[in-house]
Amino acid sequence: MKLVRYGAPGAEKPGLIDAEGRVRDLSGAVPDIAGEALHPEGIAKLGGIDPESLPLVDGTPQDDLRLGACVGSIGKFICIGLNYADHAEEAGMPIPPEPIIFNKWTSSVVGPNDAIQIPRDSVKTDWEVELGVVIGKPGVYIDEADALSHVAGYCVVNDVSEREFQIERAGTWDKGKGCDTFGPTGPWLVTPDEAGDIDNLDMWLDVDGERMQTGTTATLIFKVPHLIAYCSRFMSLQAGDVISTGTPPGVGMGMKPPRYLKGGEMVSLGIAGLGEQRSPVLAPA
């Protein structure tokens, strides 16, 4: 299934994408794509519904029908740093011996086609296409062999980052990662049965039509099962938590000279089988 949340910001309704790419309303089945709806039993219930039996929603998704973030009420937005060897190289940093964990604040979450707002005083706002893993079955101290049973689905994440805030302003990375609008998520949550081989998904990102990032999840240093098990050592994972797994090379910080967003650009990105985002960039207010 491809699960979505559609409608005005703050008033999104749950839906799914039918075989013709149209949105079908799930409001009669679940209140939101969140919480218990993401548990294995909830996903199985939604999978048993005939899409043709659901009301058809007017409009074309990502055109004249807005999509919100594909997961509602995200509890934790957990990110993994330097998880592609070639990205670590372009950043001039060693391959980490263990996953690097940081956070995006959930107030950063926006829809896949919503605007990215460059924050006040920003000079180094950057882009990062990433594979997002959405937790379904809660757990703590999860065995790596059992980790994928805790996944409700996968999605596209743009881990927008302000590099000066992140690296040059003291403290942790978090201050450059969680600014408002820095977490475009979606367009849809793709359940594992339709997501394909998550260890071999092509990824890309363009700025104004110019290809910046080209990669594949095949070059992840720490794979999805390891990341789930590892994170669960330090926190319980709950339904609706998102783990963003890292980015391939091609970020603005790694270019020579570095290149950053100023406002007025269009950032487009996608992952094979998981959909695409297209976000206009707004200059600082």
The CATH number of domain 72-282 is 3.40.50.10490: no
Tell me what pLDDT residue 86 has. 78
CA 173 to chain centre: 18
- Give the position of tokens 């379904």: 136
Backbone φ and ψ for 87, nearest 5 degrees, come out as -75, -40
Contact 73, 35 (CB under 8 A): yes
Tell me what pLDDT residue 224 has. 98
Q: Interior CA angle at 155 toward 259 and 72, to 5°?
A: 110
The alpha-helical segments, DSSP class H, found in 127-207 are 163
Contact 13, 27 (CB under 8 A): yes
Angstrom distance (rounded) from CA 108 to CA 102: 14
Tell me what pLDDT residue 104 has. 98
Tell me what pLDDT residue 8 has. 98
State the Rg of the chain over Cα: 18
Cis bond leading into 257, ω under 30°? yes
Tell me what pLDDT residue 171 has. 84
Return per-residue pLDDT of the chain as tens, 285 residues: 999 999 999 999 999 999 999 999 999 999 999 999 999 999 999 999 999 999 999 999 999 999 999 999 999 999 999 999 877 777 777 889 999 999 999 999 999 999 999 999 999 999 999 999 999 999 999 999 999 999 999 999 999 999 999 999 988 899 999 999 999 999 999 999 999 999 999 999 999 999 999 999 999 999 999 999 999 999 999 999 999 999 999 999 999 999 999 999 999 999 999 999 999 999 997
pTM for the model: 0.97
- Strand 266-271 to 242-244 pairing: unpaired
3-class DSSP assignment, residue 34: coil
- Burial class (CB within 10 angstroms; exposed 0-12, middle 13-18, buried 19+) of 272: middle
Contact 255, 89 (CB under 8 A): no
* DSSP conformational letter for 11: -
Domain ranges of the chain: 72-282
